[in-house]
Structure 1
Amino acid sequence: MTTEDKTHSPAKEIPRGSAAGFIKYMKHDLLSGLLVFLIALPLCLAIAVSSGYPPIAGIFTAIVGSILTTFLSNSELTIKGPAAGLIVIAIGCITEFGGVGSHEAYRAALAVGVAAAVLQICFGIFRAGILGEFFPISAVHGMLAAIGVIIIIKQIPFALGVINPETGRAPSAEPFEMVREIPHYVMQANPAIAAIGLCSVLIMFVWPLISRRVRALKIVPAPMIVLLFAIPMGMGFDLIHQHSYVLRNHEYQLSDQYLVNMPDRVFGLFDEVTYPDFSVLRQSRAWWWVMMFFIIGSLESLLSAKAVDLLDPWKRKTNLDRDIIAVGVGNLAASLVGGLPMISEIVRSRANIDNGARTRFADMWHGVFLLLCVALIPTVLHRIPLAALAAMLIYTGYRLAHPVEFLNVYRVGKEQLAIFVTTLVMVLATDLLVGVAAGIILKIIIHVVNGVPIKSLFKPYIEVQDVDNTTCLILARESAVFSNWIPFRRQIEQIGLVQHRNVIVDVSETKLVDHSVMEKLEEMERDFEQEGLHFEVRGLDSLQPLADNAHAARKRGLASMRRLTIVASAEIEDWLEARLVQLGATGYTVMQCRGAGRTELQHGNKENDPKVRIEVVMTWKTSEEAIDFLRSEVIPNHRITACVETVDVVRRQDFESLSDASHLEHALSD
């Protein structure tokens, strides 16, 4: 066990965010809150600027959210605050009502935030948090990847210092249009600002690699290292004062337009409080953005809270309805004073866990540190270059749209990659809701093509049987897919978690169990385990996986395998059988036979040695290894005949090698 593992090993007593826990775990929570504050400060400023809000708005959100939600949510380790995932919606809303820099547009966006917050509160009160389970995983990942791409594209002008000298704003347009303009942005770059931006980007990408090698450096987050370099560079270029410089016969302008706009005095943040303009809610277009904030914000927050629960060393479970109420109240309060929308933010939450936080009070402390910093030293924060903040968001966007994401989705199944890419492209071409809807529609079409009856797309067909007083069997028929999972899940929870009974789910009679349900069944197993109950899924072995992955969709039908047939001398029969088993064959069939090959016919020798015919059914991977063995070790020294053909089998797992089976078991346990 590593030092880090020991640090985070669950203690016998599970930490709770109670009054006693506040005192008992203050040392851990205070330290983690301080370290998370170092990450949150520059990111809150960066997200606010990129959203078209004043920089201070991001700080308002983090302060209000962290202090309020600490006492409303039971999520012990999530950090609440502005998130990069909502930048696309926020900047779209600002643009809709007048554009970046317009005070009226800012106040209109605040009113939209208030309305969305009220919907979130109602969403939680009516226990609708489970609706987050409806969205297919690949579509959600495609949406997040698209958000990452958009963030990168929109931050390039900021990082290069390409701004309008009159408004101080970087150019903004549709993603594909901005991609075409990138060469133009490079030609227009301000060299001094571009130097700050490029150095900051380099630090964001290189520092994590350095800190992995030197563990002592891991405590200092990359955004803080960026500020330690970018602020002195900005001071060296004297960005605080307006002036010009000449480079290669070209004159460039520098001024505090390239710096973060912050209050110019101590406690000046209270002068920046701004109130919503509720009159915009009379316009129908405002409610489109209300729904965008409500749906996407709630979905991202629910997914983040669930992800943090999986990372929690003590495996504490968040009440998602209560958490969404807390986020809604936080959004309501933040929007009333000029803040951005907030969610349960995964990056800062992960840092909170890594820093050794014990309870939800770490979130509160990070908000307290933000309040003290912005209230007492706003003039220092004013020296932060916008290019440095852009670099942080470019890295954040890269992580959302990391190339590995495409590979991970492909490994789960080609159809999942199609859904992922479709959602990504449609979000880039249209907007978030249309993109996600396109991914959902494509997934439904794929399900119908794979034999799912239309009648079972939204209604699960299940039969409940009592095994004994403590165990219940749920027989699933027709299909178990993302669109009928919510009523299916409610049935499992009612019988198992509410009545405190063990549950066996049999899916052998279904035509398809999709990728989303495969992952959610695994989540249910963890939920039952935490309650001291047993949860078992049966019948998966009668369905064929669409990819070689533990979470791949499974379909009723025959599995495609390979049959290798070898005709060879009986003298090498035992050796061939032993080697094929070593390579992964799970069995073989041997028949005595006679015949002559081309060489024997040419020599007129039809009386030949006894021969055997060996047939082996194996996976494609194992068959390739067997063919390589025949080519390298057998054919050069022995006369044999070998052929391979594709066959369909009823039970795939009967022909998977033991190494493949152990790999699958390991993947499921992870």
Structure 2
Amino acid sequence: MTKKINLFANLKSDFASGLVVFLVALPLCLGIALASGAPLFSGIIAGVVGGIVVGYLSKSHLSVSGPAAGLTAIVLTAITDLGAFNIFLTAVVLAGVMQLLLGFIKAGSISNYFPTNVIEGMLAGIGVIIILKQIPHAFGYDPDFVGDEAFFQSDGQNTFSELFQVFNHIQLGSILITLVSLAILILWNKVEFLKKIKLIPPALVAVIVSIILNEFFIQSSSNFAILKEHLVSLPVPTSLEEFKNIIITPDFSALSNSKVWIVGITIAVVASIETLLCIEAADRMDAQKRYTDTNVELKAQGIGNILSGFIGGLPMTSVVVRTSANNAAGAKSKMSAIIHGLLLLISVLAIPIILNKIPLATLAAVLLLVGYKLANPKVIIHFWKRGKYQFVPFISTFLGVVFTDLLKGVALGIVISIIFVLKGNLKRAYNFRKEEYADGDVIHIDLAQEVSFLNKAAIKSTLMAIPENSKVIINAEDTVYIAHDILDLIREFKTVRAKDENIKVKLKGFKNAYQLENNVESSNKVSIEHYYDVMKRKTVNREIIDEKFND
């Protein structure tokens, strides 16, 4: 029986963290919508649905959903190819239905196979990306959209070349506000009397102070004044009719268009993988070490995308940046994600003019600290000390995420992890009791718990190295699985080569189901040729003869 979660049990900390995530999510929703070539409000709609609906349905305590930077290229291309945003929304609804089905067939279980070092490498890589991408915004240089995670940018620059461009576009007001915001964020948790004010998050204080400072600069016509292009830019409807036009509905007549289905499948696959990666990351970050049912998460994401598509929103995933900010702000339960969604909804309806006064520089300061917590050098040192089999996949994922994007970086880390696993399996398939062979030796080969086809080459070379006139004991008493390839190898060795070279073979612990040929002289003995003939014709079932040494 599933334990019921009390959403209001940690309301103080969840409200404070939800407020921080709201401040981080607002420019991310707008930036991702802008980069996707979609209406700006479509990003806000996805953020609201991701917060309230997915937040409520999800079993994750820390994960926060919304429009994802990893989908921007797919969305931009899809809208262009399909020719209209309302046709694209049909593909979003289809993607949601597919995710819902993936949840019901328990496809979320694939997340159990993501290696921990790869997840940690992904988090550290995202941390470095956040820092590198927010430095230009902190200096008042904002050509790249807020929330971009790709190495190569739409403005023709890359993550590193963008940093050099900053020196040609320094805005003194943005630098000052970044420094003031960082001071507030850092000191708030160090000054004793401020630490007691838990209900007011330091990020909110930083935002309020930055708005007041900039308004003072504007009124005094100071060179420090931050212009409109360096502030949050939320559309402000001037009439009810204009607000109604914001809601765009899907064109379901496009269901006959094969391109719509291809886009829907693409979004479903990519969004599901990103969500599962983020859920694993969220569970790793959780101080209480709670685990999320990933199949329920896929269902929640599916319902969220169906609803988002129906009312004009972008596709969504669970997002690492927002989740990391949520955890860093002290969230205790999923109520934080729900609160962030409610605040997005209320604020864009009630106070869009005030929101448009927030400098991007102060939000950059918030994200800089989030990035530092993710990319803490202690994490790199930790995996270095754990040896190359842990460090190499970790650092490969880390570098892959920084220099490509999240999915490619993780794919690289997983491939390298698999190579290491395969290499390890070759060594751990069996153990020897004796390493040097001589005529008359008794050689013990103890098989591991699982012996797959990947171990075939190693076992084959070992059997080939066994000298004539030896006695060999192949022990499978602790083995629960042996691949057919290995069984065939042992069978051929026992019935052919062992007979020719006077090698006595004893098999221990092999089940009857393995159907290994006997090599002892017996009235019940059937030759290997007859055995294969029988098996080919499938006319006779033989019982396995007990294995014994020939004295």
Shorter chain as denominator, the TM-score bin is 0.5 to 0.7
Structure 1 residues 135 and 107, CA gap change in structure 2 (3 angstroms): farther
Q: Please give the alpha-carbon distance, in whole angstroms, between the structure 1 residues aligned to 2:97 and 2:86.
A: 17
Match of 1:186 in 2: 167
Q: Which structure 2 residues correspond to residues 333-352 of structure 1 after superposition, within 5 A?
A: 333-336=307-310, 337-339=312-314, 341-343=316-318, 346-347=323-324, 350=327
CA shift for structure 1 position 478: 4.3
Q: Provide Cα deviations, 1:231-271, integer angstroms capped at 9, x if missing partner.
A: 112212339xxx98769xxxx98335533324255988665
CA shift for structure 1 position 216: 0.5
Q: Please give the alpha-carbon distance, in whole angstroms, between the structure 1 residues aligned to 2:109 and 2:429.
A: 22
What is the one-letter code of the residue matched to 1:338? G
Q: Please give the alpha-carbon distance, in whole angstroms, between the structure 1 residues aligned to 2:376 and 2:280.
A: 22
Check conservation: 1:151, 1:397, Cα contact below 8 A: yes
CA shift for structure 1 position 171: 13
CA shift for structure 1 position 125: 0.7
Q: Provide Cα deviations, 1:569-617, integer angstroms capped at 9, x if missing partner.
A: xxxxxxxxxxxxxxxxxxxxxxxxxxxxxxxxxxxxxxxxxxxxxxxxx
Q: Tell me, what secondary structure is at the counterpart of 1:210? A: coil
What is the one-letter code of the residue matched to 1:230? S
Match of 1:82 in 2: 66
Q: Which structure 2 residues correspond to residues 324-473 of structure 1 after superposition, within 5 A?
A: 324-336=298-310, 337-339=312-314, 341-343=316-318, 346-347=323-324, 350=327, 364=338, 367-452=341-426
2:276 pairs with 1:298: yes
Match of 1:583 in 2: none
CA shift for structure 1 position 199: 3.1
Structure 1 residues 246 and 124, CA gap change in structure 2 (3 angstroms): closer
Q: Pick from 203, 213, 237: which aligns with 1:223?
A: 203
Structure 1 residues 215 and 158, CA gap change in structure 2 (3 angstroms): closer
Q: Which structure 2 residues correspond to residues 652-663 of structure 1 after superposition, within 5 A?
A: none
Structure 1 residues 172 and 264, CA gap change in structure 2 (3 angstroms): farther
Structure 1 residues 255 and 445, CA gap change in structure 2 (3 angstroms): closer
Q: Pick from 8, 16, 22: which aligns with 2:4?
A: 16
Q: Provide Cα deviations, 1:418-453, integer angstroms capped at 9, x if missing partner.
A: 111112222333333332222122122223333437
Structure 1 residues 177 and 335, CA gap change in structure 2 (3 angstroms): same
Structure 1 residues 324 and 158, CA gap change in structure 2 (3 angstroms): same
Match of 1:597 in 2: none
Check conservation: 2:138, 2:360, Cα contact below 8 A: yes
Identity %: 24
What is the one-letter code of the residue matched to 1:117? G
Q: Please give the alpha-carbon distance, in whole angstroms, between the structure 2 residues aligned to 1:307 and 1:169.
A: 21
Check conservation: 2:117, 2:393, Cα contact below 8 A: yes
Match of 2:107 in 1: 128
What is the one-letter code of the residue matched to 1:138? N
Report the structure, 1 or 2, having the larger strand content.
1
Q: Pick from 142, 148, 158: which aligns with 1:177?
A: 158
Q: Please give the alpha-carbon distance, in whole angstroms, between the structure 1 residues aligned to 2:401 and 2:84.
A: 23
Number of residue pairs aligned between Structure 1 and Structure 2: 425
Q: Please give the alpha-carbon distance, in whole angstroms, between the structure 2 residues aligned to 1:343 and 1:34.
A: 20
Q: Pick from 121, 135, 140: which aligns with 1:156?
A: 135
> Higher relative contact order by CA 8 Å / sep ≥ 6: 1 or 2?
2
Q: Tell me, what secondary structure is at the counterpart of 1:434? A: helix
Check conservation: 2:383, 2:390, Cα contact below 8 A: yes
CA shift for structure 1 position 414: 2.7
2:22 pairs with 1:41: yes
Q: Which structure 2 residues correspond to residues 581-592 of structure 1 after superposition, within 5 A?
A: none
Q: Please give the alpha-carbon distance, in whole angstroms, between the structure 2 residues aligned to 1:98 and 1:138.
A: 36
CA shift for structure 1 position 58: 5.1
Q: Provide Cα deviations, 1:462-497, integer angstroms capped at 9, x if missing partner.
A: xxxxxxxxxxxxx93349x9xxxxxxxxxxxxxxxx
Q: Pick from 26, 46, 65: which aligns with 1:61?
A: 46
Gaps of 5+ in 2: 431-447, 455-476, 481-551
What is the one-letter code of the residue matched to 1:127? K
Q: Which structure 2 residues correspond to residues 260-299 of structure 1 after superposition, within 5 A?
A: 260-264=233-237, 271-275=245-249, 281-282=259-260, 288=266, 290-299=268-277
CA shift for structure 1 position 61: 3.2
Q: Tell me, what secondary structure is at the counterpart of 1:82? A: strand
Check conservation: 1:125, 1:321, Cα contact below 8 A: yes
Normalised TM-score (structure 2): 0.63
Q: Tell me, what secondary structure is at the counterpart of 1:410? A: helix
CA shift for structure 1 position 179: 0.8
Q: Tell me, what secondary structure is at the counterpart of 2:413? A: helix
Q: Tell me, what secondary structure is at the counterpart of 1:217? A: coil
Match of 2:515 in 1: none
Q: Pick from 214, 227, 232: which aligns with 1:254?
A: 227
Structure 1 residues 429 and 257, CA gap change in structure 2 (3 angstroms): closer
CA shift for structure 1 position 139: 1.6
Q: Please give the alpha-carbon distance, in whole angstroms, between the structure 2 residues aligned to 1:275 and 1:404.
A: 48
Check conservation: 1:122, 1:325, Cα contact below 8 A: yes
Name the stretch that deviates more: 216-225 or 54-63. Answer: 54-63
What is the one-letter code of the residue matched to 2:113? F
Q: Please give the alpha-carbon distance, in whole angstroms, between the structure 2 residues aligned to 1:169 and 1:67.
A: 21
CA shift for structure 1 position 348: 6.4
